[in-house]
Amino acid sequence: MLIEKIATGNELYKMVNRTQEATLDSQFLLASAEIGAKQAESIKLSGENFDTEDWINKLLTVMGGRQDINIKQENNETVNLNLLKWETIGIRVEPFFDKVPKIDNMIGPLSTEQKEKKTIVKHARENKNSVNLKKPQELRKEDIKEQENETTKNVVQICEILDRVGKINLFEFIINPESYSQTVENIFYLSFLIRDGKAILDEEDGELVIERTDPPDEEDYMHGIKKKQYVLEIDYQTWKDIVEVYDIRNSMIPTRPKIQNNNSKWYG
């Protein structure tokens, strides 16, 4: 029975605590309404189906609306809506509406607390001496070229160190226990070696190892080898955990001096 299903749905709704469950409940109500409408259309009274058109005709007769011609219906019959006695049908249905729970309106607002208006204080604009203002540093072509040379130098240095130590655990090679930022830089520089095929990253016994290898030649590229560069993502907490787990005390790659600015140029 539809009523039993709705009652079960009401009980289940008391345990709803997620948005998805509430969505399913609304779909259930919509489906129940559609089923109820179809069942209402198929209602049989005294062995006969409920005829909506016949019911409307009888309703018009009770309300006295078959006197003048104003509005055409599907059967070409006309009804004067101005002469319908709505109070007659209202008196007849009034007892049924008395059984429906009434809605109480809330008197007054939820909160009577008044919001304070914020006072906007306008400050006079300070007059700055243009002489004391500093211009932003201009980045010139030679500065970019110097930075590129610095990157190349560090990549070559890491390649030489990897060639000297041979196969080694990835983290023991790139992690700098004294500097998180330089660990990130080491990963960045190592990615160039992997991209160019000068280093290979592999897995042995569940651990990542890195070793030096010969780069592919033109014939290898002609057979479909493509350059791909991957940069390992590492956050500060992961860096600290790796230092502790692998007990790394010294950096395999020497710590580089901090970059300083001098005469509009950057040196490393």
pLDDT tens, residue by residue, 148-199? 578 888 888 888 998 898 888 989 999 999 999 999 998 888 888 888 888 8
Work out whether the CA dihedral 31, 32, 35, 36 comes out positive or negative. Answer: negative
Query: What pLDDT score was predicted for residue 46?
Result: 54
- Assign 15 to helix, strand or coil: coil
Strand ranges in 14-82 using DSSP code E only, listed in sequence order: 44-45, 48-49, 71-72, 78-79
With CA atoms as reference, report the closest residue to 60 among 49, 45, 71: 71
Query: For each successive 10 residues of the chain (268 residues), what is the average pLDDT?
Result: 82 83 85 83 63 79 62 52 77 77 64 69 60 63 61 87 89 91 89 86 87 81 71 86 90 81 47
228 and 161, same structural domain?
Answer: yes
Residue 107 located in a structural domain: no
Domain count, the chain: 3
Residue 130 located in a structural domain: no
Strand ranges in the chain using DSSP code E only, listed in sequence order: 44-45, 48-49, 71-72, 78-79, 168-169, 199-204, 207-212, 260-262, 265-267
Query: What pLDDT score was predicted for residue 93?
Result: 80
- Residue appearing with tokens 């609306």: 65
Query: What pLDDT score was predicted for residue 177?
Result: 92
Whether the Cβ atoms of residue 230 and residue 194 lie closer than 8 Å to each other:
yes
Number of CB atoms found within 10 A of residue 228's CB: 8
Residue 117 located in a structural domain: no
Residue 200 located in a structural domain: yes
CB-count burial class (<10 Å; 0-12, 13-18, 19+) for 99: exposed
254 and 157, same structural domain?
Answer: yes
Residue 129 located in a structural domain: no
Residue 134 located in a structural domain: no
69 and 32, same structural domain?
Answer: no
Amino acid at 155: V
Query: What pLDDT score was predicted for residue 176?
Result: 92
- Assign 156 to helix, strand or coil: helix
Pairing of strands 207-212, 199-204: antiparallel
**Pair of tokens at residue 227:** 């350059």
Residue 118 located in a structural domain: no
Query: What pLDDT score was predicted for residue 51?
Result: 73
Give how far Cα 72 sits from Cα of 56, 78, 86, Å. Answer: 14, 4, 20
Residue 238 located in a structural domain: yes
Whether the Cβ atoms of residue 175 and residue 246 lie closer than 8 Å to each other:
yes
166 and 260, same structural domain?
Answer: yes
33 and 55, same structural domain?
Answer: no
Query: What pLDDT score was predicted for residue 45?
Result: 57
Query: What pLDDT score was predicted for residue 53?
Result: 79
Domain membership of residue 159 as a residue range: 141-267
